[in-house]
Amino acid sequence: MKQLRITVAGQTFDVTVETLGGSTAAPAPAPVAAPAPVAAPVVVPVAAPAPAAAPAPAAGAGTPIQSPLAGKVVSLDVKPGTAVKEGDQVLTLEAMKMNTVIYAPANGTVTSFCVAPGDTVAENQPLAYLG
């Protein structure tokens, strides 16, 4: 027989363990001890990394196409200078292993992209501009 002290989820228990292959006599019940005091873990807050700042648009850059959610840019589906109509596919984001297609909010020409494939974006971050 062995006496062991085991801690589970912050509570300490004194237990008696029977060694196999030893005697077959029933083990004596272990005395129940009050749980040993356990110091609470210290939680140190870790600051979340700040989202990457989007490049400032040039003067007269046009209407921003903003990200509806935080995610990762999968692809730019048109090139700068491409004329698009409202509802045309402009780029694709991935969030939680699902692709979300971002559409042009209005008719215009894609003047520039503020992101590249592989970039992580925040919600409401400008992705591209329509002129």
Domain ranges of the chain: 1-38, 63-130
Q: Which amino acid is at 13?
A: F
Mean pLDDT for 75-81 is: 93
37 contact partners, CB below 8 Å, separation of at least 6? none
> What is residue 60's predicted lDDT score, i.e. its pLDDT?
45
Which CATH code for domain 63-130? 2.40.50.100
pLDDT at position 61, please?
Answer: 66
The whole model's pTM is what?
0.54
Q: What is the DSSP-derived secondary structure letter of residue 68? A: S
Indicate the burial class of 126 (C-beta count within 10 angstroms; 0-12, 13-18, 19 or more): buried
